[in-house]
Every structure is written in C-alpha cells, then in structure tokens.
Structure 1
Amino acid sequence: MAELADLEDAGVRAVNERHGDDHGVNLGKLRALAKRLKTRHELACRLWETDDTAARLLAILICRPKAFARDDLDAMVRRTRAPKVHDWLVNYVVKKSPHAEALRTAWSADPDPVVASAGWALTTERVAKKPDGLDLAGLLDVIEARMKDAPERLQWSMNHCLARIGIEHAGHRTRAIDIGERLGVLRDYPTSPGCTSPFAPIWINEMVRRNRTE
C-alpha cells in the first residue's frame, strides 16, 4: 500500500476521475509492480479487502483466478463500482474461472445494471469464441428491446455484444446493423483519429472489411 501511495500522481488521478475511476496510479507502473510480485493469491485477497481502487487493480493482476469460488466472484462483482476495476475483474479473473458460464447466465438478467453488464460481457466472449448453444436471434431480440434505455455501463456491454454478433456471424449481420441504425446508440460517441467508432454499424462494417483484407 505504501508503494502504491508513492506511485500516486495528481495528473493521472484527474484524468481517471473523469472516467469514474478514483485512483492516480499509472497503469504501466502498476503492471510493473505486479510483474515483480508475480502470482500471490493471499496478498491479492488482502489487497482486495482494502476497498482501495489501485490496490484492487493490483490484486486482480496477482491473484489466481481459478482459486475463487463462485460466491466469491459474485460478491466481488456486486461490490465493484469503479469502471476499471469492474472491467479488469470480468476480463482478467471471471473469464478465466470455471464458474464463468454459470455466472454469465445468472448475471445477464440481474436487476443491478452493473452486474448485468458483467453478464453481457461474458456473453460477448461466448459470441466470439464459443457460440454453440447460444440463441443469437434471441440475444438480438433482447438488445433491440432494451439497449436504448439501458443505463450507461449496461448499454455499453449490450452494444459490444451487438457488434460482435454482427462481426462474427454473417447470418445475423444485416439484422445487427439494422438494430444499430434504428436505435442510434453511440452514434455520436467522440472517437479519436485512427480509432474505430463504437457505433455498431460502423464497428461491424470496419471489422468485417479488415477481416476480408487480412
């Protein structure tokens, strides 16, 4: 914790706070610290319990994902509100857990939109890597009905799923693009030069174009 405090930078904190993350540690330096510590699951659990955002990010990097029980992961997601911690927890820990599929099913319909966004992130992973058994048309039905009015973080996850369905599954591409056009979610999202817009129709078409030329 003392090392993390020494890494605190007011400028970094100011930037992060604009995105809802209450920490001021450069992530490159945080990763370097994690690389030095290597996997230390007991320490990771102690860092997580501090409720400090930088400490939790470090905990995620040095934990052993498969060591967490399903109930542990459920509780961790429900207590996580900083966007970066939530994103890393889902992507670096939950996705590597043997409980990922059970949690995906449970979380996707959760009344808490932050928890539900974790479920949709796991669904997006399956859409891309293990789509067998998924009802893609049914997912598009839910997205079409609920995405436009969903809270921001849940909306972002559902939009990512919409785009991934369109990118990976040609049979659903036309409908995915049509849903994106009609709902208009993230149509005006500011995008840096050289980056792809998160607006689903643009995102889908650009990634399909790249895949065809690679």
Structure 2
Amino acid sequence: MTQVDNWTSNAVVAELRSMGTEENRAGLARFGIDASRAFGVPMSVLRPFARRIGKSPDLAEELWESEYHEARLLAILLTPPKAMTADRASSWLEDVQSWDLCDQLTNVLARRKDSDQLVPVYADDEREFVKRAAFALIAWRAVHAKSAPDTEFLNYLELIRNAATDQRNFVWKAVHWALRQIGKRSKDLHGAALAVAEDLQSAEDRTARRVGREAVRELSSEKIRTRLRVT
C-alpha cells in the first residue's frame, strides 16, 4: 500500500482502485448494490485504511463528491460524529442509492445526541433510502445513545407501526431492524416492542405480518430473554 502523510482525494481514490477486485465488485450486485462506480473494496479493508488516514471531514467531503462507492463509504468513516451535522447527513442522503451507504451514514449520525430530531423528518420522506435512514437511525440509536431515555424509543413504535406496510425491500427490513433493536435495549422496552411485533404478526397486511414475524422470532428467543432477564 502507498504510504502518504497528507492524503489527497486523488491519492485516496488511486489507492482504493488498487485495493479493489473484480470478484468483490461482482459480489456487490448480489447484495443489491450498484457496482457501476465501485472498485470492489470490502469494509474489512476500508476500515483499517480509514484508520491510516485519520479523521478528516474536509477530505471526506472531497471523497463524497468523487461519486465512487468506496470513496463515499470511506468519507463516512473519516467523518467524526461531531462533524456529521444534520445538514451534512441530509445532503449526503440526497445522493444515497444503496443500503450500505445509508446504514454506515446513520451509524455515525446516531452517535450525535441530537440526531433523534432527524428521525421524524426522514420517516416523513417517501424516498426509499431517506425513509430507510429513519429506521436505521432508530436501530443505531438503540445501540449508541446510551443515555437516551426509554421514552424516546417508545415514541418510535408508532412510526414503526405506520411504516410496517411499506413493501419496499430496503424499507421494511430497516423497520423490523429498528423494532428488534428497541426490544433488545432494555427489559421495559422489550415488552413494548414485543407487543407491537405480535400485533403486526397478525395484521391483514402481508408486509406488516412479515415485519412482526421477524421481530417476534428474535425478541422471543431464549438468548434475548435471558440477557434482559425477562421471564
């Protein structure tokens, strides 16, 4: 690998191009990701590369503008939560057309204490990956927002009910991900989330039933019940 003290966007893109493989590039399509602007560099390679470069919001912005898939993933990794402002996150989401970019972006955004304010904004947006971002953000906040009160997550359950009928693959999967993560956050939230999942499991709508069924399966598992000390 090239050793560069002060990375430029051109140098980073050149390095990414050298890291990619056609095998990995072809694999993106199997996961529903457009590979037309991709090099085929896996996250297992991107993460240590990001650590070599170090956090750099300015470089991240230049990499995002390159439009290369892995450059955009790297841009997210190079952006610390304090620099992942609402404006930056929403601007980047305008360009997102894949679940991995959406999920990595919201993973960083969820570490900001004020990112909960974006959940209803994104949930009200009908564009597929912006709407997914709302529920990916809920899922990540359930993991990262350690000091957030349970009431925040209880308030998300109605959003989950309303979105559970969205048939789009990348939306409903994020909806049940959010529901599952809420239910795994605490003993009290487990009961509330499981109740919603059971309701959805018996809904008339086919997609809602699928969301409920997936969530019930995990939240009812012995592993989760034991960890949360649910009887």
TM surpasses 0.5 = yes
Tell me, yes or no, if structure 1 residue 151 matches structure 2 residue 176. no
CA contact (8 A) 2:118 2:134 kept: yes
The alignment partner of 1:185 has SS state of helix
Change (3 A) 1:12 1:164: same
Go from structure 1 to structure 2 and tell me whether the alpha carbon gap of 1:161 and 1:126 turns closer, same or farther (over 3 Å shift). same
The structure 2 residue matched to 1:160, chosen from 177, 181, 185, is 177
Residue 133 of structure 1 deviates from its aligned partner by: 3.7
Residue among 76, 87, 90 paired with 1:74: 90
1:185 match? 210
After TM superposition, the score normalised by the length of structure 2 is: 0.75
Q: Which residue of 2 aligns with 1:58?
A: 74
Map 1:194-213 to 2 at 5 A: 199-206=214-221, 207-211=223-227
How many correspondences in the alignment? 201
Deviation by residue 1:50-97 (Cα, 9 ceiling, x = unmatched) = 1110101111112233224422221111211122111111102x1133
Q: Provide the aligned C-alpha RMSD in A.
A: 2.6
Is the Cα–Cα contact under 8 Å of residues 111 and 141 in structure 2 kept in the other structure?
no
Q: How many Å apart are 1:141 and its aligned residue?
A: 4.1
State the Cα distance separating 1:164 from its structure 2 match: 2.9
1:121 — aligned with what? 136
Unaligned runs of 5+ in 2: 1-12, 203-207
d(CA) in 2 for partners of 1:179, 1:211 = 24
Structure 2 counterpart of 1:16: 28
The whole-number CA distance in structure 2 between the counterparts of 1:146 and 1:86 is 17
2:120 to 82, 105, 111: 105
The normalised TM-score by structure 1 is 0.80
Deviation at 1:144, TM superposition (A): 3.4
1:26 has 2:42 as partner? yes
